[in-house]
């Protein structure tokens, strides 16, 4: 099985919005996931609590439990991404705190254009301060531009506004970035599963790992108590954010109709924050399994070979808030295709639009848009034909 590229998630937002608090929360609730962090200044990252293991290069710090942190500027970004993605570090995901490095749009362009095969752009998260929303837009008019390119918006500090004000801001965000999911949070507490997969806690490194320190703090303070002072930058990073979200699982031994599946993804509800797993289409020439990764409105497919003897299944996990799980399952069931072997090759074009660096790109020209003959119905591509 080939080594999979490391997803790179961009964390953006203006000073005071709570990016560092959110980043600390991710680090404190990551399980055994090894996170590479790229920031301008890690003075606010809670390194002391992470049992710094020592220096790894000029500005890279090895954090207990398998995290790495870099302090860089934009010109050094490619070099540090190359360092972080080195197999020796076994990093699972890289998070870039974009403030001060570059405009989010430029950061996204840099990552999409990056030729390092070991990394892959994984979406952009914009953090918004609910308590200072209007003031921030007044002082930083570029806020609207940043929101327009976000894949997921975290409306932070909702504990500082009332329900009516939160609803007003969410309405404005719906106009500024239509179709982009908005996650409400306080003290940056979102479920890390919205951005990356958490691995089990399995590692220690001869000294207390970060997980050990968190567990000790919880034991000392009580299972439900906060760790540390509850204020911006050093808030409660052990809150049970996962209780806010619902998880829906879908498994099918029948292939998925690629056109219907893309249609489902294109119109997924705003409360559906993340989709992960694998899809099986079984279309001739495309019998691989396709890894599905969606964060907010960002979507990516990655074709992979099946393991020896591995059953051909579609397995998806959908994470959201306020979603109708049974309705989502019904929609996915309607995407199943009983005869994928008869599907035309062009039925995969919608999926291939979201595949990074497809192998065919080096040898075949991009296909022209598919235009069906109006005189001949296409029951395979009609989502209402069932």
Whether the pLDDT of residue 337 is over 90: the answer is yes
Rounded distance between C-alpha atoms, residue 189 and residue 22, angstroms: 6
Q: How big is the chain by its Cα radius of gyration, in Å?
A: 22
Rounded distance between C-alpha atoms, residue 71 and residue 79, angstroms: 12
Mean of the pLDDT values across residues 58-72? Answer: 55
The pLDDT of residue 358 is 43
Whether 129 contacts 17, CB under 8 Å? yes
Whether 35 contacts 61, CB under 8 Å? no
- Report if pTM > 0.75: no
The pLDDT of residue 80 is 79
Which one of 193-207, 225-239, 268-282, 351-365 scores highest in mean pLDDT?
A: 268-282
30-39, 204-213, 287-296: the lowest-pLDDT one? 204-213
Higher pLDDT, 112 or 68: 112
Residue whose entry in the numeric block shows the structure tokens 């914009």: 126
Rounded distance between C-alpha atoms, residue 180 and residue 269, angstroms: 10
Residue 364 zone, left/alpha/beta (φ > 0; ψ -120 to 50; rest): beta
Whether the pLDDT of residue 325 is over 60: the answer is yes
What one-character-per-residue DSSP string does 88-110 give?
A: GG--SEEEEE-TTT--HHHHHHH
58-62, 123-127, 285-289: the lowest-pLDDT one? 58-62
Whether the pLDDT of residue 70 is over 70: the answer is no
3-state SS, residue 71:
strand
Rounded distance between C-alpha atoms, residue 21 and residue 23, angstroms: 5
For residue 351, what is the enclosing H or E element? helix 349-352
Rounded distance between C-alpha atoms, residue 128 and residue 155, angstroms: 5
Q: In 296-350, which ranges are E strands? A: 298-304, 314-320
Whether 18 contacts 11, CB under 8 Å? no
Whether 34 contacts 90, CB under 8 Å? yes
The pLDDT of residue 218 is 45
The pLDDT of residue 75 is 60
| Nearest-10 crossing angle of helices 325-333, 258-266 | 150
Higher pLDDT, 146 or 201: 146
The pLDDT of residue 294 is 93
Whether the pLDDT of residue 160 is over 80: the answer is yes
Whether the pLDDT of residue 384 is over 60: the answer is no
What burial letters (b/e) apply to 119-144, b meaning 16+ CB within 10 Å?
bbbbbbbbbbbbbbbeebbeeeeebe
Rounded distance between C-alpha atoms, residue 71 and residue 203, angstroms: 25
State the sign of the Cα–Cα–Cα–Cα dihedral 324, 329, 334, 337: positive
31-45, 125-139, 304-318: the lowest-pLDDT one? 31-45
Whether the pLDDT of residue 238 is over 60: the answer is no
Higher pLDDT, 200 or 56: 200
Q: pLDDT class for 69, splitting at 50, 70, 90?
A: low
Mean of the pLDDT values across residues 239-244? Answer: 47
3-state SS, residue 260:
helix
Which one of 11-25, 139-153, 203-217, 252-266 scores highest in mean pLDDT?
A: 252-266
3-17, 269-283, 292-306, 372-386: the lowest-pLDDT one? 372-386
Sequence-distant (6+) residues with CB within 8 A of 371 are none
The pLDDT of residue 184 is 94
Rounded distance between C-alpha atoms, residue 233 and residue 187, angstroms: 8
Whether 189 contacts 241, CB under 8 Å? yes
The pLDDT of residue 385 is 43
Of all residues in the chain, what percent carry a pLDDT higher than 70?
Answer: 69
The token pair at 195 is 């951005």
The token pair at 323 is 């979603």
Q: pLDDT class for 324, splitting at 50, 70, 90?
A: very high
The pLDDT of residue 228 is 29
Higher pLDDT, 90 or 382: 90
The pLDDT of residue 36 is 84
Mean of the pLDDT values across residues 193-213? Answer: 59
Whether the pLDDT of residue 177 is over 80: the answer is yes
What one-character-per-residue DSSP string does 127-172 give?
A: EEEGGGHHHHHHH-TTHHHHHHT-SEEEEE-GGGS-HHHHHHHHHH
Q: pLDDT class for 99, splitting at 50, 70, 90?
A: low
The token pair at 25 is 């929360």
């Amino acid at each position: 099985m080939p080594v999979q590229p490391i997803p790179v998630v961009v964390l953006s937002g203006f000073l005071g919005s709570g990016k560092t608090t959110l980043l600390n929360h991710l680090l404190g609730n990551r399980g055994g996931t090894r996170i590479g962090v790229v920031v301008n200044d890690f003075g606010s990252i809670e390194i002391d609590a992470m049992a710094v293991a020592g220096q790894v290069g000029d500005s890279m710090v090895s954090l207990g439990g398998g995290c790495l942190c870099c302090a860089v500027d934009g010109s050094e970004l490619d070099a540090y991404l190359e360092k972080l993605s080195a197999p020796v570090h076994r990093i699972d995901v890289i998070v870039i705190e974009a403030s001060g490095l570059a405009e989010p749009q430029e950061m996204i362009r840099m990552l999409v254009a990056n030729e390092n095969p070991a990394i892959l752009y994984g979406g952009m998260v914009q953090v918004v301060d609910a308590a200072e929303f209007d003031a921030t837009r007044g002082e930083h008019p570029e806020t609207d531009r940043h929101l327009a390119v976000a894949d997921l918006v975290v409306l932070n500090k909702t504990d500082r506004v009332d329900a009516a004000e939160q609803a007003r801001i969410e309405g404005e965000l719906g106009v500024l970035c239509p179709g982009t999911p908005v996650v409400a949070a306080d003290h940056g507490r979102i479920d890390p599963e919205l951005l990356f997969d958490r691995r089990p806690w399995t590692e220690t490194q001869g000294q207390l790992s970060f997980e050990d320190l968190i567990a000790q703090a919880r034991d000392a303070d009580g299972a439900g108590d906060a760790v540390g002072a509850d204020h911006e930058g050093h808030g409660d990073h052990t809150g049970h954010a996962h209780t806010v979200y619902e998880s829906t699982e879908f498994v099918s031994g029948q292939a998925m109709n690629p056109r219907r599946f893309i249609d489902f993804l294109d119109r997924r509800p705003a409360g559906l924050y993340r989709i992960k797993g694998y899809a099986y289409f079984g279309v001739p020439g495309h019998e691989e399994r396709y890894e599905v990764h969606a964060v907010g409105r960002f979507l990516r497919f990655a074709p992979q070979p099946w393991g020896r003897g591995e059953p051909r299944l579609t397995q998806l996990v959908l994470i959201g808030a306020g979603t109708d799980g049974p309705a989502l399952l019904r929609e996915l069931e309607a995407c199943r295709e009983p005869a994928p072997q008869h599907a035309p090759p062009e039925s995969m074009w919608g999926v291939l639009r979201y595949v990074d660096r497809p192998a065919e790109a080096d040898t075949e020209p991009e296909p022209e848009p598919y235009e069906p003959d109006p005189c001949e119905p296409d029951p395979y591509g009609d989502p209402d034909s069932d």
